[in-house]
Amino acid sequence: MTTAPEEFCLKVRASLIQSGIFSENGTERSWRISPKPFELSKEDSAFFLDLGDHLLNFYKTLNGFYFESLKDRFPSWFAQYLNNGKPSDLLDFSQMKRFKSHLPGIIRPDVIVTEDRFIVTELDSVPGGFGSLTQLMELYQGSFNSLLGAENGGILSLFSAMVRETAGKQDPILAITVSDEAKDYLDEMKFLGNRLNEAGLKTHVIHPKDIIFDEEGLFVQNSQEKEKIDVLYRFFELFDLKNIPKSELLMYSAKKGRVKTTPPYKPFLEEKLSFALFKHPGLRSFWEKALDPETFQKLSHLIPCTWILDNNKLPPHATIPGLTIKENQIQSWNELFNLTQKEREFAVKVSGFSPKSWGGRGVTIGHDVSGQAWEQTIKSSLEGFPKETAILQKFHKGKRFRASYLGFEGDIKEMESRVRLTPYYFVVGGKAKLGGILATLCHKDKKKIHGMTDAIMVPCSVAL
């Protein structure tokens, strides 16, 4: 990069503000801007290029196990855990035969870089952030020619290919539907929609209330006429359906085959507790048989120990599999109440189908809160089961990195940080292809790593 680092950061900031993605006042919708991407080694870059297909296989297997469980050809409690707290009409819709094989078109894992390995803490099939990453990649690409995902065509190309494949035609009309709950992402989706239109995919970014319904399908009104929507990209959460205008009409059109919807209306694919099901010792042989050996071994290494906070009492001779404190097997969740700060290096997360289950909400890091707050978190999580399921997950501390960013005075500062990597995979031709990776770097003392005003957010590149 020949431009001075300060000047480069100011240009990036100005472009982000102009696009509407970045807030000029430095509060909401803003972050620290770095003069360079986050570099990954060639070996680590190869890992991320390969990871998507393994995660897609996980989704396929989870989906298959779920339907087998409904037919009692698999442990029935598998589907029961995934169905808990969901309204029966949504479950009936999600289980329709015509949708049985449908999977998310975008897969985004949250990956923590530790001292010795990567840890995938959760999966998101309705992710935000890829509109912002699209612009960040455009802004950094001119000065850094090794951005990860660019070798596959980048986000715009892969998202377009996924939409065309979903539609089954080369010239579909796409509607990205953004709800009130997801309004914080509206500007980045508008930016993405503009770029998609420029790239040749006719796209409308629209509120659900503005979609026009008739018996022929779903339409959007442009300046001259109604245009029939071929693909509806569902950028709203399923727990929020009762607040989505025309949600029943959107689902009716999908049921009748008059519009293709991605991601599908499958709440069981959006539960963090799926990792607990993968780690359950009673299901290990099923996963091992269903997944190819490489995928099973890779996921076993990547997915942290996870447990469902189920308030059903265990018999006296039973223990919670794999959960030990000071080498003692745990027989009751009550034994977690009075742990020391060091002993409570766990995360408690609301699993899904709740307004607390996304955007970093509903997450408590045990050693980051008081003992009293920790005990109350465990108690309230157990009390909420099964209507609102939570999970307990082993916490893995991130590796430290020195990262640079533009300070308020216009100078370049450094921060000792930890990083979360969020690669975006797009399912095209039965493969999950990497479109880009967003690195979010927070101060080393932060336990929860997520987008915030004092975080650095940059695309990832391959170290040359």
Q: What is the 3-state secondary structure (H, E, C) of the chain?
A: CCCCHHHHHHHHHHHHHHHCCCCCCCCCCCCECCCCCEEECHHHHHHHHHHHHHHHHHHHHHHHHHHHHHCCCCCHHHHHHHHCCCCHHHHHHHCCHHHCCCCCCEEEEEEEECCCCEEEEEEECCCCCHHHHHHHHHHHHCCCCCECCHHHCHHHHHHHHHHHHHHCCCCCEEEEEECCCCHHHHHHHHHHHHHHHHCCCEEEEECHHHCEEECCEEEEECCCCEEECCEEEEECCHHHHHHCCCHHHHHHHHHCCCCEEECCCCHHHHCCCHHHHHHCHHHHHHHHHHCCHHHHHHHHHHCCCEEECCCCCCCCCCCCCCCEECCEECCCHHHHCCCCCCCCCEEEEECCCCCCCCCCCCEEEHHHCCHHHHHHHHHHHHHHCCCCCEEEEECCCCCCEEEEEECCCCCEEEEEEEEEEEEEEEEECCEEEEEEEEEEEEECCCCCCCCCCCCEEEEEEECC
Look at residue 89 in the predicted model and tell me its pLDDT: 97
**Residue the block writes with tokens 């026009």:** 212
The rounded distance, in Å, linking the Cα atoms of 56 and 185 is 25
**Residue the block writes with tokens 């991605």:** 262
pLDDT tens digit string along 275-293? Answer: 999 999 999 999 999 999 9
- Do 352 and 314 contact (CB within 8 A), yes or no? no
The alpha carbon dihedral of 419, 420, 422, 423 has a sign of positive
pLDDT above 90: percentage of residues in the chain: 89
Q: Kindly report the number of other CB atoms within 10 A of residue 17's CB atom.
A: 15
**pLDDT over 80 (residue 138):** yes
The rounded distance, in Å, linking the Cα atoms of 162 and 183 is 24
**Residue the block writes with tokens 């599999």:** 321
**Residue the block writes with tokens 């035609």:** 169
The rounded distance, in Å, linking the Cα atoms of 258 and 216 is 7
Look at residue 225 in the predicted model and tell me its pLDDT: 87
- Mean pLDDT over the full length of the chain: 95
φ and ψ of 173, to 5 deg: -105, 125
pLDDT above 70: percentage of residues in the chain: 99
Closest CA to 261 of 240, 232, 239: 232
- Two tokens at 317? 């001779």
- Do 163 and 452 contact (CB within 8 A), yes or no? no
φ and ψ of 401, to 5 deg: -135, 145
Look at residue 357 in the predicted model and tell me its pLDDT: 81
The rounded distance, in Å, linking the Cα atoms of 260 and 253 is 9
- Two tokens at 260? 């293709």
379: amino acid identity, one letter? K
- Do 457 and 37 contact (CB within 8 A), yes or no? no
- Give the model's confidence band at 3: pLDDT under 50 very low, under 70 low, under 90 confident, else very high: confident
Q: Kindly report the number of other CB atoms within 10 A of residue 1's CB atom.
A: 12
pTM of the predicted model as reported, rounded to 2 decimal places: 0.96
Look at residue 1 in the predicted model and tell me its pLDDT: 54
The rounded distance, in Å, linking the Cα atoms of 37 and 57 is 30
**pLDDT over 80 (residue 27):** no
- Give the model's confidence band at 222: pLDDT under 50 very low, under 70 low, under 90 confident, else very high: confident
Q: Kindly report the number of other CB atoms within 10 A of residue 221's CB atom.
A: 13
Q: Picking from 18-32, 89-103, 246-260, 363-377, which range would have the lowest pLDDT averaged per residue?
A: 18-32
Q: Picking from 50-54, 392-396, 436-440, 452-456, which range would have the lowest pLDDT averaged per residue?
A: 452-456
259: amino acid identity, one letter? V
Phi-psi domain of 246 (left: phi exceeds 0; alpha: psi -120 through 50; beta: other): left
**pLDDT over 60 (residue 63):** yes
Close Cβ partners of 175 (under 8 Å, ≥ 6 residues apart): 203, 204, 205, 206, 211, 218, 220, 229, 231, 232, 233
- Judging by DSSP bridges, how do beta strands 431-443 and 412-428 pair with one another? antiparallel
**Residue the block writes with tokens 């000792």:** 416
Highest mean pLDDT among 138-142, 229-233, 239-243: 229-233
CA contacts within 13 A on the Cβ side of 138: 17
Report CA-CA distances (Å) from 370 to 140, 373, 448. 41, 5, 16
φ and ψ of 142, to 5 deg: -65, -30
